[in-house]
Amino acid sequence: MNPLILFTLEIAISLGISLIVISLLKPLLTDVLIETCGTEKRAAFWGMFTQLMLFLTPLLIVIYFAPTDVISNSSVVLAIKETLFRTLLGVFTGLAIVGQVIWKSIVPNIPEPANTPIIKE
């Protein structure tokens, strides 16, 4: 297979998987970010930041670790398998970083103690 076509296919796989993950995550993430950040503008910034991280991290891993010197000797199936692995590793890495930041910023809901009368003896 032509190396340029294979490289284009690798990039398309990476961007496609990232797009799927972002489309699944975005509606839920927006509500969490508005609650965590306090304003819609802040939440919009962090939402866009998260989307960029989920596009760029897998793409960088796919591009950096693409085996350009052995493309002619490997099968297309193996190249696609490796691309899927690198893309999912990138998505996982991006989600782990974003998840850790969000996790640290969430204030737990601690229930207030019930209004029980204090009995003095």
pLDDT tens digits, 8-64: 888 898 899 999 999 998 888 888 888 888 888 888 888 898 898 888 888 888 888
Q: What pTM, to 2 d.p., does this model score? A: 0.69
Domain ranges of the chain: 3-105
Angstrom distance (rounded) from CA 102 to CA 32: 9
Count of CB atoms situated within 10 Å of the CB of 3: 13
What b-and-e string marks burial along 22-56, b requiring 16 or more CB atoms within 10 Å of the CB?
beebeeebeebbbebbeeeeebeebbeebbebbbe
Does residue 69 surpass a pLDDT of 80? no
pLDDT of residue 64: 81
Q: What is the DSSP letter of 39?
A: S
